[in-house]
Amino acid sequence: MTELRVFYDDAALAHVAPGGEFDVPASRRLAVEEPHPDRRERVENVVGILRSELAAETTWTGFDPATPTQLQRVHEPSYVAEIRTWAGEGGGRLTPDTGGNTETYRAALTAAGGAVAAAERAIEADDEVPYALVRPSGHHAQSDRADGFCFFNNVAVAAAHLLATDRADRVAVVDWDVHHANGTQEIFYDRDDALVVSLHQDHDSWDEETHPQACDLTERGTGDGTGYTVNVPLPPGTGDDGYQYAVAELVEPVVASYDPDAVLVSAGQDPGTVDPLGRNAVTKSGFESLGADARRIAADHAGGSLALVQEGGYHLSHVAYATLGVLEGVLDVETGVGDPYANVPGDTRSAKRAVDEAVAAHGDFWPLR
């Protein structure tokens, strides 16, 4: 039986983002403020469903926070110091949608450390799937700025750690969060030792200052990194079959050609059917397929070295069901738990057109049909 090793620390619960109107400050037009979508209950519900449904398969493991050396491989030292000082002074909003409290720096250090621990375990262990159940998320954080609820780029810290410590010569990051992996892209944009594949809803930048990346097919890397940024913008409502088409037609062929030593998945479950920040119509069953795909791709093309790092997912209930689906897929187990929110059909036809456009855009660098 394949074991699930969960890297988790209660520091994930201590980070508190400011409320307002969803993820932006209150306008004072409304009578009742709304909690920020990045709430601790997201993680608590994932912990709960794992303890309920995958207890026999799961080992819970502690770990150390990220070190300054690990962080500074991908972040400017001055930026790390800025986040430490900002949190120490009480936090607040860093950007219109991204903020925290006095515990945010500790939580972000811990999240990055969890990703590092999971990545190390991916290289070392057989018959085991490491999963960093961490918060705050990381994939929007760039080398010198916070963005999109993210402070330190957890998966980038982990990938850079594997490369810098000679545990890997090449690392593939596959990101299926509904939002573009702009931070991970920025950090590795001129490097060929990290492949960044981002399956995301086709969206523009939400802030020119904090999110300068375009998120589209024109961004493919620069210098030594040319071709190693692989963006796959998908239409809203893509659905289970659309994601499967993207994996078969683009993700797996690219990763196979790259031949990495490890696959790190930025596992954001906000493409889910009812997620308030995505609605890409992926059901629990669709997430099971994504998990199984990740495990198979790592087994066939990365010596079995696979780690999952939690990113988004903001519907307090569905994020738990969706994450359970991912983990059932990677473990090849069936709990019998259904999806109480599987009520939105996918737009497979539009998804296939979008994937075909991405295949055409990346086909001059990778062996795609």
Which residues are catalytic, by number? 140
Omega into 136 within 30° of 0, i.e. cis? yes
Give the single-character DSSP code of 102: T
Tokens 């492949």 map to which residue?
195
d(CA 133, CA 25): 28
Report which of 132, 135, 170 is spatially closest to residue 151, judged by C-alpha positions.
135
State whether residue 196 is helix, strand or coil: strand
* Amino acid letter for position 98: T
107 vs 87: CA distance, rounded Å = 10
Contact 298, 305 (CB under 8 A): yes
Asked if 249 and 365 touch (Cβ cutoff 8 Å), the reply is no
What is the phi-psi region of residue 288: left when phi exceeds 0, alpha when psi lies from -120 to 50, beta otherwise?
A: alpha
Sign of CA dihedral 178, 182, 183, 188: positive
**Cα gap 92→171, rounded to integer Å:** 35
For 95: left if phi > 0, alpha if psi spans -120 to 50, otherwise beta; the answer is beta
